[in-house]
């Protein structure tokens, strides 16, 4: 039998669902529920409908089986890139699975929206890749997303209390529950209660991944990131995203398909390619998170980083694959983002498509501890987008002659951010000329000033004889830099000093502070308080 039904499961409104709350534990729980709904719950519901094949990642079971084993009623093709794909042998099993999965999501992850589409196809005469990409994702799923069925939740009958996070009907008070201290609880709806329950399971999973269960506590709230009583403290929200990964998946799948002679062979090759690449990228993402944990543990043990009440100052929210979001102590945001990008490149250099390392861009929003989390995430996502625009421009729209690189952009918000990041820089940085952001994160074939150079300048401001412990002098320099290269040069002559040197840059940069109508030192001064060296090369490069 060669007739099957292909099913694609996708989630909608994920950013709002995960990051719509200003409470970190709710963000953590929401992310875990999304992961469960598209992986574990899918597998669990599949197992209830009969004999199915769920490939084992650890054993690298790449080959599909449903077309060779008539006893199988379904097979999980892959789960990755935001989509879960399944093949079913008959329509009744499709309906049974869909009914069971959506019921579980409604009960255990209220508020999470999923979209499911089905398409019949013939294994021997139709390409599965075309069915998934054209018929299901581009046609049916996109149409459902454009015209969603309006959700009209019951807002309560008679006298009801409302949830502090969602405004929906509250079902319980969280005081003293779900890891929330007595006296700090609040009214919560079903959606929030589900997220809080999931957060504890997510924390256990992360403790095992980072191997910190017996030594540190996982941060459950932004206040755990290092804030002391009465201090004005900052956290960093970091969002990193791989460059052109969608195209890489598409090209690898297409090339693999083309190696088959028959349509059946092409479909086999397509499934194996998608599994192989998605699993490899997922492993690389998790391995990188593990390595960041090791780097940070070493920095803490060597006293480069101080922590609060034994809380680990690094908390991934979304991780695995090339799409990563984490929260950390504000002083660690840029250091950890750059370290993540470097290690992710290293861990993806031998992917099965043989296209070399995966580069990525990251946005880092450094904000006050109680800055609205949802807005902070929007900011870091916009900064990541800025870094991608910079990459596109520098590579001349991803020209083959210009190799891809990793890039970062960051912003320090001492108060609110009014308008887009481009408007803020136009207003506060003299049309953007005072800042050199975005920039390359680390070493690159064609030299341009990058974060690693800026980090050395920051360290020189902190530790160099001409600048350390001279806060007023640095403050005056910051003001003079706004007046341009000539004013800066006169200021330095009067002081009898030169600026810290950017490695490999022209000598006039350290004499004037400006190069090619752009200032490179304003960023260093602004970022000084929000940068911790994680112990130098002995820590940064320890695997």
Residues 517, 404, 409, 83: is their CA dihedral positive or negative? positive
Alpha helix ranges (H) inside 176-262 = 190-210, 245-258
Instruction: Residue 310: give its domain's CATH number.
Output: 3.30.70.270
Asked which of 94, 119, 146 is the last residue of a domain, the reply is 146
Whether 209 is in a domain gets the answer: no
Whether residue 236 is found in the same domain as residue 115? no
Whether residue 104 is found in the same domain as residue 226? no
Predicted pLDDT at 228: 47
Per-residue pLDDT of the chain (543 residues; tens, 9 = 90+): 689 999 999 998 888 999 988 899 999 999 999 999 999 999 999 999 999 999 999 999 999 999 999 999 999 998 876 789 999 999 999 999 999 999 999 999 999 999 999 999 999 999 999 999 888 888 887 777 777 666 666 666 666 788 888 888 899 999 999 988 898 999 999 999 999 999 999 999 999 999 998 899 898 888 887 654 445 589 999 999 999 998 999 999 999 988 888 999 999 999 999 999 999 999 999 999 999 999 999 999 988 888 888 899 999 999 988 999 999 999 999 999 999 999 999 999 999 999 999 999 999 999 998 888 888 999 999 999 999 999 999 888 877 777 889 999 999 987 767 677 888 888 877 766 889 899 999 876 555 788 989 999 999 998 888 888 888 888 899 999 998 889 999 999 998 888 998 887 888 888 899 988 889 999 999 999 899 888 654 343 433
Alpha helix ranges (H) inside 348-484 = 373-394, 421-428, 451-463, 471-481
Whether residue 232 is found in the same domain as residue 323? yes
Cβ proximity of 269 and 260 under 8 Å: yes
Alpha helix ranges (H) inside 211-313 = 245-258, 263-301
Whether 233 is in a domain gets the answer: yes
- 451 CB contacts (<8 Å, ≥6 apart)? 334, 338, 408, 439, 440, 441, 442
CA distance 253 to 272: 9
Asked which of 115, 146, 177 is the last residue of a domain, the reply is 146
CA distance 87 to 8: 9
Among 239, 177, 528, 531, CA closest to 373: 239
CA angle 96, 131, 41 (to 5 degrees): 35
Whether 164 is in a domain gets the answer: no
Predicted pLDDT at 266: 94
Residues 377, 382, 387, 392: is their CA dihedral positive or negative? positive
CA distance 218 to 32: 15
Asked which of 146, 174, 204 is the last residue of a domain, the reply is 146
Whether residue 242 is found in the same domain as residue 136? no
Number of separate helices (H) and strands (E) present in the chain: 18, 17
Whether 483 is in a domain gets the answer: yes
Whether 427 is in a domain gets the answer: yes
- 499 CB contacts (<8 Å, ≥6 apart)? 457, 492, 509, 510, 511, 513, 521
Whether residue 118 is found in the same domain as residue 239? no
Give the global pTM.
Answer: 0.92
CA distance 382 to 377: 9
Number of domains in the chain: 2
Whether 161 is in a domain gets the answer: no
Whether residue 236 is found in the same domain as residue 122? no
Cβ proximity of 288 and 343 under 8 Å: yes
Whether residue 12 is found in the same domain as residue 136? yes
Reading the block at residue 227, the tokens are 């804030």
Locate tokens 């807005």: which residue? 375
Cβ proximity of 127 and 257 under 8 Å: yes
Chain centroid to CA 79: 18
CA distance 283 to 413: 34
Among 438, 432, 452, 446, CA closest to 502: 452
Instruction: Residue 87: give its domain's CATH number.
Output: 3.30.70
Reading the block at residue 479, the tokens are 């003001």
Reading the block at residue 498, the tokens are 């030169």
CA distance 84 to 65: 17
CA distance 102 to 108: 10
Reading the block at residue 291, the tokens are 């390595």
Whether 205 is in a domain gets the answer: no
- Please give the residue range of the domain that contains residue 136: 3-146
- 44 CB contacts (<8 Å, ≥6 apart)? 104
Burial class (CB in 10 A: 0-12, 13-18, 19+), 158: exposed
Region for residue 57 given its phi and psi (left: phi exceeds 0; alpha: psi -120 to 50; beta: otherwise): alpha
Whether 280 is in a domain gets the answer: yes
Whether residue 446 is found in the same domain as residue 325? yes
Residues 36, 39, 44, 48: is their CA dihedral positive or negative? positive
CA distance 240 to 417: 21
Predicted pLDDT at 538: 37
Round the average pLDDT of the chain to a whole number and report it.
Answer: 88
Whether residue 117 is found in the same domain as residue 231? no
Whether residue 482 is found in the same domain as residue 389? yes
Chain centroid to CA 430: 31
Task: Tabulate helix, strand, coil % of the chain (nearest 5).
Answer: 45, 15, 40
CA distance 190 to 198: 12
Name the DSSP letter for residue 327: E
């Amino acid at each position: 039998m060669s007739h099957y039904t292909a099913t694609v499961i996708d989630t909608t409104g994920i950013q709002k669902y995960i990051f719509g709350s200003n409470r970190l534990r709710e963000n953590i729980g929401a992310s875990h529920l999304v992961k469960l709904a598209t992986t574990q719950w899918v597998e669990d519901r599949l197992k209830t409908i009969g004999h199915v094949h769920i490939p084992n990642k650890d054993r690298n079971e790449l080959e599909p089986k449903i077309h060779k084993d008539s006893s199988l009623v379904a097979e999980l093709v892959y789960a990755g890139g935001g989509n879960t794909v399944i093949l079913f042998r008959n329509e009744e099993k499709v309906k049974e699975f869909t009914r069971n999965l959506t019921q579980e999501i409604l009960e255990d992850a209220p508020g999470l929206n999923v979209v499911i589409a089905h398409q019949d196809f013939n294994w021997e005469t139709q390409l599965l890749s075309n069915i998934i990409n054209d018929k299901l994702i581009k046609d049916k799923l996109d149409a459902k997303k454009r015209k969603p069925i309006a959700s009209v939740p019951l807002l309560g009958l008679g006298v009801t209390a409302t949830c502090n996070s969602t405004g929906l009907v509250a079902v319980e008070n969280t005081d003293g529950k779900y890891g929330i201290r007595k006296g700090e609880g609040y009214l919560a709806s079903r959606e929030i209660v589900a997220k809080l329950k999931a957060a504890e399971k997510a924390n256990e999973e992360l403790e095992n991944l980072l191997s910190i269960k017996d030594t540190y506590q996982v941060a459950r709230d932004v206040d755990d990131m290092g804030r002391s009583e009465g201090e004005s403290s900052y956290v960093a929200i970091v969002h990193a995203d791989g460059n052109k990964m969608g195209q890489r998946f598409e090209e690898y799948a297409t090339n693999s398909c083309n190696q088959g002679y028959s349509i059946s062979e092409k479909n086999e090759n397509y499934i194996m390619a998608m599994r192989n690449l998605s699993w490899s990228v997922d492993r690389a993402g998790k391995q990188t998170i593990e390595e960041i944990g090791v780097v940070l543990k070493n920095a803490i043990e060597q006293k480069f980083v101080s922590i609060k009440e034994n809380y680990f100052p690094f908390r991934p929210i979304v991780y695995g694959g090339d799409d990563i979001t984490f929260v950390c102590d504000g002083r660690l945001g840029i250091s950890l983002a750059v370290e993540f990008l470097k290690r992710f490149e290293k861990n993806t250099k031998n992917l099965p498509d043989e296209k070399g390392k995966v580069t990525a861009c990251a946005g880092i929003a450094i904000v006050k501890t109680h800055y609205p989390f949802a807005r902070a995430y929007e900011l870091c996502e916009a900064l990541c987008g800025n870094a991608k625009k910079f990459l596109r421009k520098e590579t001349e729209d991803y020209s083959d002659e210009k190799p891809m690189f990793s890039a970062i952009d960051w912003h320090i918000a001492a108060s609110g951010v009014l308008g887009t990041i481009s408007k803020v820089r136009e207003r506060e940085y003299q049309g953007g000329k005072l800042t050199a952001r975005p920039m390359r994160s680390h070493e690159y074939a064609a030299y341009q000033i990058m974060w690693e150079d800026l980090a050395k300048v920051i360290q020189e401001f902190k530790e160099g004889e001409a600048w350390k412990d001279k806060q007023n002098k640095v403050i005056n320099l910051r003001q003079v830099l706004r007046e341009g290269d000539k004013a800066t040069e006169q200021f330095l002559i009067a002081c009898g000093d030169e600026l810290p040197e950017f490695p490999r840059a022209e000598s006039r940069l350290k004499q004037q502070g400006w190069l090619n109508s752009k200032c490179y030192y304003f960023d260093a001064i602004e970022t000084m308080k929000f940068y911790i060296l994680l112990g130098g090369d002995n820590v940064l490069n320890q695997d």
